[in-house]
Amino acid sequence: MPIEKIKKAFKDPENRDDALRSLISDLDHFEIARRLHELRLEHKVKIFHLLADDKKKQELLYETDMDSRLEIQGNLDRDYLAALLDDMPEDEATDIIQELPGDAQDELLSKMEVQDADVIKDLIRYEEETAGGLMTPHCDKILFNSRAADIFTKVRRESNKEVPPYFYVVDERDQLIGFFKLRDLMNIQTSALAKEFIRPTTPKVHLNDPCEKVSHIMGQEHLSSLPVVNDDNVIQGIITFDDVIRVMQDRASEDIYTMVGTAKVDPFAKKISNKIIARAPWLFTTFVGGLVSAWLLGNYQTTLADYAAVIFFIPFVIGLAGNIGIQGATVIVRGLATGDVQKDNLATVVKSELSVGILNGIIFGLLCGGLVYLVAESLLHTNPVLGWVVGTGIILAVAVAALIGSLTPILFINLNIDPAISTGPIITVINDILGLAIYLATAAYFFSSL
């Protein structure tokens, strides 16, 4: 692995800068960027300076983790950093500048070229994971009355540049009226006007649309880029699929880490102390849940003392209810993230998950309850009523867990909270406490009637 070779090279005191530069130039700088967090600060800075050209330095700075990026920037001359950002795509430079405190942002922008600084200031206004924050403020706009021959001549004249896959047609006020692909241009008469061969529908997004909506439209329409318009339908820029993929990967990672109650951003790059601080609050909920569970067990100690076999099935009831609750929440959270769950089918999906959860609870409640009823006297040496306790407890606990798992993502969305939390430790602990309380209350009710 490249990073292992670099670590070994830094440990050798005889290795000079020339040898290190030669080693680093032979390695994949993207792979170095992904694992840069494993190195010490001085080694990160040295690797950055030893890269062959500014292009690689820009890519390493953009692709590495945020902690390493901030450390490297803190050791760079501000004028040099401003010049480096000047040469980067505006959307990427904006992402880097947004991570800095306000005074550092102002200082860098004042040192950048006025045109680039103005573009970045406009992009910073939008949230990072919206269409406005993701877009590149440059696109191939074609006036509606342009002739196909003139458009084709322009494309040939700019043959040294990458040919765009889509051309966006605008009117005299820059309002988007349609688009066409390069192959459309090749198959049309040279005298045709742009407005005459645009496609009938133009998929587009608005400045404040979330990344999930952008990715959903891209996938649905099979497009590699989308135009971004304001409320007046004036085109502001385009979003390309690579920008969307990057953000969606980050969001997926964030959701997964949120589900298990750990750090949201760059978990591998965080220092040990930062990891502890990030995870301790989640673990504290488990601690509190344990105390509540102990209190519940204490309240039912008479029933547990008289019918000790009830204890044997506590893990089974809690585990089954918890898993069914997590399944329902995960399906809905994932559907919301991919766009498969929308407002028009949300109620149907929730009803479906709720029905599946409850029916599974009935199936396993009857199965386990019946089995316990049959072996209660012969194997467990207790009253067969335990079968009724276990079966009913499972059915009730699972029904409540399915209800919580299906509805909490919707509740969190309405409260503007990340719905991934609904599959995290807090909801898991709540499900465990409610499952235990229901099971113990069921046991107390059935055995009190004997």
pLDDT at 305: 79
- Mean pLDDT (the chain) is 83
Tokens of 251: 């969001």
381 backbone dihedrals φ, ψ, rounded to 5°:
55, 50
Topology of the domain comprising 272-448 = Tetracycline Repressor; domain 2 (1.10.357)
pLDDT at 366: 93
Instruction: Give the relative orientation of helices 114-124 and 102-111 as an angle to the nearest 10 degrees.
Output: 150
- CA-based R_g, the chain, Å: 30
The pLDDT tens digits of the residues spanning 168-184 come to 999 988 899 999 988 88
Tokens of 332: 């809905």
Yes or no: say if 209 and 130 are a contact pair by the CB < 8 Å rule.
yes
The pLDDT tens digits of the residues spanning 348-365 come to 888 888 888 889 989 999
Task: Answer whether 2-129 and 141-248 agree in fold.
Answer: no
How far, in Å, CA of 167 to CA of 71, rounded? 41
* Alpha-carbon distances of 111 from 81, 89, 174, 372, rounded to whole Å: 9, 17, 31, 76
Pairing state between β 225-229 and 141-143:
unpaired
pLDDT at 397: 92
pLDDT at 350: 84
pLDDT at 339: 67
How far, in Å, CA of 198 to CA of 202, rounded? 9
Q: Please enumerate in sequence order all residues whose Cβ is within 8 A of that of 446, keeping only pairs 6 or more positions apart, or say none.
A: 385, 388, 389, 392
The pLDDT tens digits of the residues spanning 198-241 come to 887 889 999 988 887 888 888 888 888 899 999 999 998 888 88
The pLDDT tens digits of the residues spanning 137-153 come to 877 788 989 998 888 88
Rounded average pLDDT over 301-309: 81
Q: Is 233 left (phi over 0), alpha (psi -120 to 50) or beta?
A: left
How far, in Å, CA of 368 to CA of 374, rounded? 10
Contacts 24+ apart (CB under 8 A), 201-206: 202/168, 202/176, 202/177, 202/178, 202/227, 204/176, 204/228, 204/229, 205/131, 205/229, 205/239, 206/131, 206/230, 206/231
The pLDDT tens digits of the residues spanning 395-412 come to 999 999 988 888 888 888
Yes or no: say if 32 and 60 are a contact pair by the CB < 8 Å rule.
yes
Q: Please enumerate in sequence order all residues whose Cβ is within 8 A of that of 194, keeping only pairs 6 or more positions apart, or say none.
A: 142, 143, 144, 145, 146, 147, 148, 151, 167, 169, 180
CATH number of the 2-129 domain: 1.25.60.10
Query: Which of 137, 129, 334 has the alpha carbon at shortest distance from 214?
Result: 129
How far, in Å, CA of 399 to CA of 321, rounded? 8
- Give the angle subtended at the CA of 91 by the CAs of 168 and 65, to the nearest 5°: 145
74 backbone dihedrals φ, ψ, rounded to 5°:
-65, -15
How far, in Å, CA of 319 to CA of 103, rounded? 51
The pLDDT tens digits of the residues spanning 247-295 come to 777 776 666 666 666 655 555 556 677 677 767 777 788 888 889 988 9
The pLDDT tens digits of the residues spanning 23-40 come to 888 888 888 888 888 888
* Alpha-carbon distances of 213 from 9, 130, 260, rounded to whole Å: 46, 9, 25
Measured in whole angstroms, the distance separating CA 152 from the mean position of its chain's CA atoms is 40
**CATH number 3.10.580.10 is the correct assignment for the domain at 141-248:** yes
User: Which amino acid, one-letter code, is at 321?
Assistant: A
Domain range summary for the chain, segments of one domain joined by + = 2-129, 141-248, 272-448
pLDDT at 363: 93
How far, in Å, CA of 6 to CA of 26, rounded? 11
Yes or no: say if 292 and 433 are a contact pair by the CB < 8 Å rule.
yes
pLDDT at 39: 85
How far, in Å, CA of 96 to CA of 21, rounded? 26
